[in-house]
Structure 1
Amino acid sequence: MDFRFSPKAGIFFRLGQTLGFAALLIFGWAGALKAESNLKISGRVIDSLTGRPVSGAAVEILETGKKTTSNQQGEFFFYDLPAGNYQLKAEFPSFTSQTTAVKVFADGETRLEIQRSPIVRMGQPVIVTAESLAASASQPSLVFDQIQLEKSKHLSVAQLLSRSAGMELKAGGVYGSTERITIRGSAINQVLVLLDGRPLNSNLRGEADLSAVPVEALEKIEVYKGAQTARFGPDALAGAVLLFSKKPENSKRIEPKLRSEIGSFGHHSIGGGTNIHIADGTEANFFYQNSSAAGDFDYTYKNQEYVRKGSYNWTNRAQANLRHGNLESSFFWAKARRGLPGDVLNLTPFSSEHDERFGISLAFKPRWKSGWFFEPETGWEKLNQHFKIPDAYAKYDTRYKSEKKKLEARLGRKTPGALFQVSSDYTESSLEGTDYFLPTRSLGKTTRRAGGAGLLTDRHFPLVSYFTFAASGALRADWTDFTPPAYSPLFSGSIYWNRAVKTRLFASWGKSFRLPTLDALFWKEDVFAAGNPNLLPEKAQSREAGYRLTLPILGRLNWEQSFFHNDLENLIVWQRNFQGQFIPQNVSQAKTFGREERISWQFPKILELELNHTQTEPINESEFILHQGKQLVFRPRHIHNARISAAYGITALNVTGRWVGKRFTRTENTKYLPPYETYDAQFSLSPKIWKLEWGFTLAVENFTSRRYEILELFPMPGRSYRFGMEVKW
């Protein structure tokens, strides 16, 4: 059977052709199960003193006698409930308990948050509040909570993100290789990535390697799309990805967890973590993982079969978090060795890259009953990189030492339905590069200092019980030691209608900017590339509007659509000159506009279907006649994703498909990478054996063994398998 994609074929027909069997299998599996009510109560148990989740709390519905306990994230769930009023009771040793009235609406779901006070404050009542159905006007575009991350442990962070609308993966090798993400046709260095508030973007190229952070170590991921400088500072030109590490749990139990995985291309990994109770009010956790892959795989180039050699990777990662009252600290360390085999026309199988990154942060986060808070935070990070290329025409033996120091403070007040915050920060970044093979190519040492101050306000206006308006505004000023001040505003608003058909309308407008990376400015000229010290900062103006509908149809049906338009100035693009060198240049004007749409259907506890599509029109509006009106390079116009998931008892099955349109590789749009599609499947089993919680996962990626390229002349591997096993005490 020929699985190659024809551009003339309809995308949903092609996805349906390959996913059809999986759909029949899952529908047949789920169809035999009894249909269940779609009404539920979900909530989270929170310690009101620390703001942290409490696991192991007993939660009961008195009218039905149903009982459950909160999980490690403090979450609890009750299913199959008819609409009506209930009495909800929460209990936990050394905490007060109280019975509280809860109303379950006919729309299918009520989200609750229970805050409880320790026994030393017996006079304080248990507070049960419903989550605002009209989320903040400045809410993230995407949120992956702990439950979603637990289900996606077989994926990397970048793979997980790329299955959502507007996100595209940039990679060039087997699982464990360097992975980066783009948002709505952006460059990879236009997306700011923060791990617990620390930027992972390199001082050298401005890119963030998401493979350095495993999914198992994270508690939550948030994605903000569009111009986000006003909220997160420079470099968030196209958006920001926020990674939150798992925090120490409020539990005296030590719950170690071990996980191991083996797979194709010599892949194997082993790791684990545990929560540690040190003393009352003092907890810590620790996570470690080692992974590696030989990386060699077969590929086809011009109808000839070859073996891709030198694509190995080896990575060590460790994270630790400590909390004592309102004081929090975190530590991150990663060390990696990767082969740099080059593109298929310039093979360098003996070249390599060695990275070592470590960072630490310290934060003090007191909060008062009045809602006021003051959060000073400091962080330090260092990245050492060694590039050794002995087998290319231009040989390298280069070492880079990168360092970042950041001091930040936030002051504000948060009350039900309102947030006001002022913030300021100072960052000092340095980069030193030395080429030991040819010292005249050394970058030398460069230091960049930047500061900023911002204002953020967010307010809800409930007009009636089922109709809410929310508005948010932010303004930030940034300055560096070599550029004039830049001002970045951001305004957003939303309207929420909470009836049988839930409706949310939203819109936003903002400006952002990004400084040129140090390699774009100062790269020493060689046969492949050269820097451009005359580059100007990139600027963007972003507009977005959309809507979301939720309908109670045999469960819950969601339909979302958003439209975006970004005007770009001085966009930095690496372009080939007539000698074949890549040189960064400012495109005087460019724009990207398009739409995102997503439809999902959730049948309670059993089945979930999702389709999403992103259309992006990245247009070059420079004055150069050969480039004007052309599509910006390496940006597909269409990306489609499809997913079918089913779960019953201790088993779960997940099948996904992805189609990416053609991407031009030359500014004149004379050459392009062809479209491609890939399909993945994953089966998991979660039994309890010998009072231990076990997990077994089998993942098959690219099961049609499609030959394709994400990056030009960097082939991707064919079909691969991975088997994982974990155990938790």
Structure 2
Amino acid sequence: MGSKAAELDSEGASDARDIFEFHEPYIGTRGTGSICKDGRKGVPKAEKMIVTVVAALTCCSLSGTIHSVSGTPVSNASVMITRAARRLKTTTAADGRFTLTADPGTYEVDTIAKGYALSEAGPVEVNRDLHLDIALEAADAQNLRPIGSVYVDGRLALSRNAIPGAVIARAEYEANGYSRILDALPAVPSITLPRPDGGNSAAPAVVALRGPDPSETLVALDGQILNDGNTGDLDLSRLPVAAFTSVNLSEGLGPKDLEGSDTIGGAVNLISLQPTVQPHAAYSVNAGSFGKSESWLNASGTRGRLGYAMVLNDQQETGYVNEDDTVCPDSIYSGPPVSTHLGSSVSSRSVLANLVWNFSQGSDVGARIFSLGNVRDVSAPVNALNSAGQLFGPGPAALAQSIRTYDIHGRASLGSGFFRAKSVWSCCRRIVSLWSLL
């Protein structure tokens, strides 16, 4: 921006008005103006009247759309852009859109909406018209969920009571550097995480709400029950954060809750990654000590009528123990020592595909597939030292976990309501294999 000062010396002026001209070299504007001297005939030379004309330069429109991770527009969200001490603010319309006019420069963009976590983006360089697409994560907040109500012969059979619950959003996992769903659960006071096969990092970990029995806690994916049919629990230790948007916890439901009969302690509902309006993609690779590494890739968006969300995850870990040793079968007296390998390695892979085909407003069909498989060497924890200081036990041992879930659903608009149909199938198993040294 530029300006030019026009100085008028009133000495010797015979007219009560002088005409002056100014130029704005940066914008190219030109104009004339006048100054009245109040009819005075003269003033001392030291007294001058200075007029400064400043032209402001505003060039850019900053617009955008605010929506949830599932693509739903977020209305009445506050959008603030900040540069140094200057702040501009607006709110989104019903369709989640907003528009601001800003000077050229670098801005921080903050978005606040009720029920969602704070979004902080930037720095954003504004030197032309820009359009932003901002996805908000669900807020981490305590909430009460109605259990539901059922009437039989006109009488209330299931009371509509509110129960305590919590939501752990993906934003909290990422803010703390967590890569697995299990990592954030110890912070919930009512949760315990038993490890039925020992406490090493390769061992399974299950969840129990309001008590020690994990079979009384329902674990679900988008409402689809995942509990192991043999043990009644579910190993959560290898579920990756990349495949989910949040974890919903409901405490103390009881056997009459609509969630299911195995919810005396409560329920843990995992919400899978959903298709988004705008395309998004992310890739991460990390590595650490003891051969630990993890990589994941996820992508979501919409192409024409097809909405998609896909995730690939790979976890590898050598573990704390990875050595050849001498083990006595079962005890020191049952046979001669045998040389064998003892380890605590883990190899885990998972994939999620979530597809939705939209026929029209309120009519669509979709399918979701989630698969997780892992193999763990648990020979280190199952072989122990005896009183003589020698290792004894079964020798080699491995644990395998397999989760397969399928969900096909559809809905059709019927006047003021909807017709919904859904079919689900799942298989979750944990198998331990031991090889005797004899």
> Which band: TM-score by shorter chain?
0.5 to 0.7
Aligned equivalent of 2:166, options 127, 142, 147: 142
Structure 1 partner of 2:306: 282
For 1:545-584, what aligned pairs fall within 5 Å after superposition?
A: none
Structure 2 partner of 1:210: 236
Would the alpha carbon gap of residues 313 and 142 (structure 1) be closer, same or farther in structure 2, given more than 3 Å must change? same
Mapped contact 1:271–1:288 kept (Cα < 8 A)? yes
Deviations along 1:632-654, one digit per CA (max 9) or x if unpaired, are: xxxxxxxxxxxxxxxxxxxxxxx
Structure with the greater alpha carbon radius of gyration: 2
Would the alpha carbon gap of residues 59 and 189 (structure 1) be closer, same or farther in structure 2, given more than 3 Å must change? closer
| Identity level (%) | 18
Q: Residue 273 of structure 1: CA displacement?
A: 1.2
Structure 1 partner of 2:91: 88
Structure 1 CA distance, aligned partners of 2:308 and 2:404?
Answer: 18
Deviations along 1:636-684, one digit per CA (max 9) or x if unpaired, are: xxxxxxxxxxxxxxxxxxxxxxxxxxxxxxxxxxxxxxxxxxxxxxxxx
Structure 2 partner of 1:334: 372
For 1:121-132, what aligned pairs fall within 5 Å after superposition?
A: none
Structure 1 CA distance, aligned partners of 2:415 and 2:168?
Answer: 29
Structure 1: stretches of 5+ with no match in the other structure:
1-43, 69-79, 100-108, 114-132, 299-307, 394-729
Would the alpha carbon gap of residues 58 and 232 (structure 1) be closer, same or farther in structure 2, given more than 3 Å must change? closer
Deviations along 1:525-551, one digit per CA (max 9) or x if unpaired, are: xxxxxxxxxxxxxxxxxxxxxxxxxxx
Structure 1 CA distance, aligned partners of 2:143 and 2:244?
Answer: 26
For 1:20-99, what aligned pairs fall within 5 Å after superposition?
A: 45-46=66-67, 52-54=71-73, 66-67=80-81, 88-90=91-93
Aligned equivalent of 1:237, options 232, 244, 264: 264
Mapped contact 1:366–1:373 kept (Cα < 8 A)? yes
Q: Residue 139 of structure 1: CA displacement?
A: 5.6
Structure 2 partner of 1:223: 249
Structure 2 CA distance, aligned partners of 1:257 and 1:236?
Answer: 35
Structure 2 CA distance, aligned partners of 1:135 and 1:385?
Answer: 33
Structure 2: stretches of 5+ with no match in the other structure:
1-64, 101-111, 117-141, 147-161, 323-340, 359-363, 386-391
Structure 2 partner of 1:380: 425
| Counterpart AA for 2:404 | F
**Match status 1:181 vs 2:221:** no
| Number of aligned residue pairs | 286
Structure 2 partner of 1:441: none
Mapped contact 1:153–1:216 kept (Cα < 8 A)? no
Deviations along 1:290-325, one digit per CA (max 9) or x if unpaired, are: 112122349xxxxxxxxx943221101111111123
Deviations along 1:559-590, one digit per CA (max 9) or x if unpaired, are: xxxxxxxxxxxxxxxxxxxxxxxxxxxxxxxx
Secondary structure of 1:207 counterpart: coil
Structure 1 CA distance, aligned partners of 2:371 and 2:283?
Answer: 19
Q: Residue 379 of structure 1: CA displacement?
A: 0.9
Structure 1 CA distance, aligned partners of 2:249 and 2:186?
Answer: 12
Structure 2 CA distance, aligned partners of 1:214 and 1:147?
Answer: 14
**Match status 1:390 vs 2:415:** no
Would the alpha carbon gap of residues 240 and 295 (structure 1) be closer, same or farther in structure 2, given more than 3 Å must change? same
Mapped contact 1:149–1:218 kept (Cα < 8 A)? no
Mapped contact 1:58–1:67 kept (Cα < 8 A)? no
Would the alpha carbon gap of residues 259 and 374 (structure 1) be closer, same or farther in structure 2, given more than 3 Å must change? same
Q: Residue 271 of structure 1: CA displacement?
A: 1.6
Structure 2 CA distance, aligned partners of 1:348 and 1:388?
Answer: 10
Would the alpha carbon gap of residues 168 and 278 (structure 1) be closer, same or farther in structure 2, given more than 3 Å must change? same
**Match status 1:268 vs 2:293:** yes
Mapped contact 1:150–1:216 kept (Cα < 8 A)? no
TM-score (norm 1): 0.35
Would the alpha carbon gap of residues 150 and 323 (structure 1) be closer, same or farther in structure 2, given more than 3 Å must change? farther
Q: Residue 161 of structure 1: CA displacement?
A: 0.8
Structure 2 CA distance, aligned partners of 1:273 and 1:380?
Answer: 24
Would the alpha carbon gap of residues 243 and 380 (structure 1) be closer, same or farther in structure 2, given more than 3 Å must change? same
Q: Residue 327 of structure 1: CA displacement?
A: 2.4
Secondary structure of 2:233 counterpart: coil
Secondary structure of 2:114 counterpart: strand
TM-score (norm 2): 0.56
**Match status 1:344 vs 2:384:** yes
Structure 2 CA distance, aligned partners of 1:245 and 1:158?
Answer: 15
Deviations along 1:115-166, one digit per CA (max 9) or x if unpaired, are: xxxxxxxxxxxxxxxxxx9955536511112322332442422231111111
Deviations along 1:439-467, one digit per CA (max 9) or x if unpaired, are: xxxxxxxxxxxxxxxxxxxxxxxxxxxxx
